[in-house]
Copies of this chain bind each other. A is one copy, B any other.
Amino acid sequence: MPSYHPPIRDMQFLLHEVFGAVATLKGLPAHADTDADTLNAVLEEGGKFASQVTAPLNLSGDAEGCTLDQQSHEVRAPQGFKQAYQQYVAGGWPSLSCDPAYGGQGLPLVLNQCIYEMLNSANQAWTMYPGLSHGAYEALHAHGTPAQKATYLPRLTSGEWTGTMCLTEPHCGTDLGLLRSKAEPIPDGAAEASFRLTGEKIFISAGEHDLAANIVHLVLARLPDAPAGSKGISLFVVPKFLVNADGSLGDRNRIFCSGLEHKMGIHGNATCQMRLDGAVGTLVGAPHKGLAAMFVMMNAARLGVGTQSLGLTEVAYQNAVAYARDRIQMRSLSGTKAPTLAADPIIVHPDVRKMLLTARAYAEGGRAMLMFTALQLDVLVSSADEQEKKEADDTVALLTPIIKAFITDNGWTATSACLQVFGGHGYVHGSGMEQFVRDARINMIYEGTNTIQSLDLLGRKVLGDNGAKLKRFGQRIAEFVDEEGVNEAMQEFINPLADLGDKLTKLTTEIGMKAFGNADEVGAAAVDYLRVVGHLCFAYFWARMAKIALDQQGSGDPLYTAKLATARFYYAKLLPETASLIRSARSGVASLMAMDESLF
């Protein structure tokens, strides 16, 4: 069975040494009394919960999966999931970074980010049950009526109830404009105007389960007078059990799980087909403006998906290292390393190290990028300075599609490399390694496929504002390059970083020019482009980490030695991918569109 050790020290390195999180947070009114000890203590406790409560349920949850009772439409999560969730609620974890106005603890989002990384390392399938609630919480917090907030937010905050996002239908996923579910006004509804919803939804994560007393579905549907396409979609809140005026649970609402998907991975999470058969709901936000409200959930969810793959990368790495130290096989090509053993531990072999370091560099780079972004979110949510808020908003908008796609693609590469370290033993269930790979695969698909992320980045976030957001983020890098350009020891990082920045600027201009002539040039280059920007971000964060590590080489703390070695590995072996990506991107659309559809 795989093991998991929360990477608390690395999180502290990033929080306190790289990003100076406490100082940033103290500058925000809501977090003025932040102190490092509290952050550290919560990290420790969160790590304990993940490693002791949910990690032991990961393998068994995968083997058992979820079961649907076709008569009652009730779904049972795997053994132990409900008890773990009760413990999670009792520990107050759901409320960690929620609004104190609704019972939340109001702690910073960057802390929640760390907790979620650990939960996902321990058990992605389990973590999706509380994880999905966040989207519903955010959407209602931003767009709900006072009555909706009063009814739902305290219970989502406490974790008594969980939430879902009901978007996808059999014929539409990416293209929500094709959505068919309907919402009819109920003439004599309750205090709040009510609607009766009908339709079929699929791929609803945590759509039905036995962990919580009620499930708050956020559902996209069309009002009777809705215009066609994506401008005619409204958002509704549809609880599994209707809620009485006194807050107690009322009748079972007519939204049912009609089937469970049998999937490649995340077996412990119930992926539901949902039938709305006249279910009662209320409108969230303005009529026909559902997509805007939904994007509040979606953006949070995209960062959450990046966090899922970060978690899997870390845990796969840890287990592959343990195996590579323990498993003896063949002698080192450069001479016996363990003469008292019948063979050397496989960690002596350069390519085994390459696979391990790939996972390590992607895990630590991803952690840096996600923590940086979460801290920007804290600024965005809590700053009193409008200019600062706006800049944080732009940064988060730019980085969100990169985090979603780059980190999940890396997670696929990394978990597969860690499986490979185990050889045949990684291909069998008991090792847990193949489960990490299967679980990681969905992260490249849901909450907008990675192709959609790349179009969002290149089309909307970069070309859509003439590169303004990218330029602003580029300024951060340029400032760092200027500062460290005089530092001899940093040249090995600064030079390639600055070089890649220049290349990206040229590439962006080139694609922008070509796109004037043919919009398909954007679609042809976008995926390669996103990976180039992803590497620029990772190179920047790795250089910042290397800077601290270099400064601390005299300290004797092995963290800095390892950090510097991993930074050098990243620059030597992973960053060079940009050479191919830029060539591929520059080759443009011609070779993709030349072949007639009938010839495929």
Contact = CB atoms under 8 A, between A and B. Distances in A.
B593 A584 contact: no
B572 A584 contact: yes
B576 A591 contact: no
Contact of A423 (B329, B426, B449): B449
Contact of A351 (B423, B526, B598): B526
A595 B364 CA distance: 15
A589 B446 contact: no
Contacts of A565: 591, 594-595, 599
Main secondary structure of the interface of A (DSSP, over half): helix
Interface stretch (A113-121, A468-476, A503-511, A514-522): A514-522
Given A264-B434, A572-B591, A599-B562, A173 B445 contact: no
Nearest to A264: B434
A437 B356 CA distance: 22
A580 interface: yes
Contacts of A261: 427-428
Contacts of A449: 420, 423
Interface string A564-600: 0110110111001111110110010111111111111
Interface stretch (A32-40, A281-289, A341-349): A341-349
B519 A333 contact: yes
Interface string A336-360: 0000001101011111111011001
B584 A576 contact: yes
Nearest to A517: B334
Contacts of A334: 518-520
A350 B589 contact: yes
Interface string A312-343: 00000000010011001110111100000011
A592 B518 CA distance: 44
Nearest to A330: B175
Nearest to A565: B595
A354 B248 CA distance: 53
A424 interface: yes
A258 interface: no
A360 to B, nearest CB: 7
A591 B589 CA distance: 36
A261 B425 CA distance: 10
Nearest to A261: B428
A429 interface: yes
A441 B424 contact: no
Interface in A250-284: 261-265
A442 interface: yes
A520 B264 contact: no
Contacts of A573: 584, 587, 591-592
A595 B445 contact: no
Contacts of A206: none
A402 interface: no
A424 to B, nearest CB: 5
A600 B342 contact: no
A427 B264 contact: yes
A558 interface: yes
Given A172-B329, A576-B583, A600-B347, A446 B430 contact: no
Contact of A333 (B354, B523, B599): B523
A216 B333 CA distance: 36
B592 A342 contact: no
A420 B434 contact: no
Given A334-B519, A350-B524, A178 B427 contact: no
Given A568-B591, A599-B561, A523 B424 contact: no
Contacts of A349: 451, 523
Interface string A540-567: 0000000000000000001001100110
A561 B438 CA distance: 38
A576 B580 contact: yes
B591 A330 contact: no
A372 interface: no
Nearest to A454: B351
Given A349-B523, A424-B446, 19 more contacts: A173-B329, A202-B424, A261-B428, A262-B430, A263-B428, A333-B519, A334-B519, A347-B600, A351-B524, A420-B445, A420-B451, A424-B445, A426-B445, A434-B441, A562-B595, A569-B592, A572-B590, A576-B579, A579-B583
3 residue pairs, one from A and one from B, having the closest CB atoms: A576-B583, A350-B523, A264-B434
